[in-house]
Amino acid sequence: MGTIPLGLENADVIRHPPAMPQSLSAVYIHLVFSTKDRRPLLRDKPTRDALHSYLGGVSKQLDCPPILVGGVEEHVHLLARFGRTITQAEWVKELKRVSNLWLKERGRDYADFEWQGGYADFSVSQSNLEQVKQYIAGQEEHHRKIGFQDELRALLRKHEIEWDEKYVWD
């Protein structure tokens, strides 16, 4: 007998079940990204709050319902239930693209606005959602004590992600 793929002796007798009627997923993502060169361009709190609402709306349209969006003048945190039909890269690219355009429409102060090229995102378990929500909600207080770069380094360490200082800040 020749080699049989996947170790099956009689593949034609296998009866495959009918297509699954539902595909279910509960994947939560904590996304973090900053302005280009971490420039504090989001100082205006009403604009920043409107941006957070806008990002939440865009994420929802991408089938990634937001749980909470927050941040301070140079970066954003977004906690969302991740959709089944989009990649992380597509999600982030679209969030940045449309919010960049939206900010530029807000006036001359944002004419040169850009997001950093990269991002960091972290999986969040259902049991840890409340803790991450509190963390995002407390960003203004948190950043009175620690800068964005130290915050991101701590998140990367906590999630055991290796990074290269030469490239992580792009």
Cα-Cα-Cα-Cα dihedral sign, residues 58, 37, 114, 97:
negative
Percent residues over pLDDT 90 in the chain: 78
- Domain 27-162: CATH architecture, name and number where available: 2-Layer Sandwich (3.30)
**Over residues 112-130, mean pLDDT:** 95
What digits encode the pLDDT tens for the residues 46-105? Answer: 999 999 999 999 999 999 999 999 999 999 999 999 999 999 999 999 999 999 999 999
Q: Is-contact 98 151, C-beta < 8 A?
A: no
Residue 1 is predicted with a pLDDT of 45
Model pTM score: 0.84
Listed by start position, the domains of the chain span: 27-162
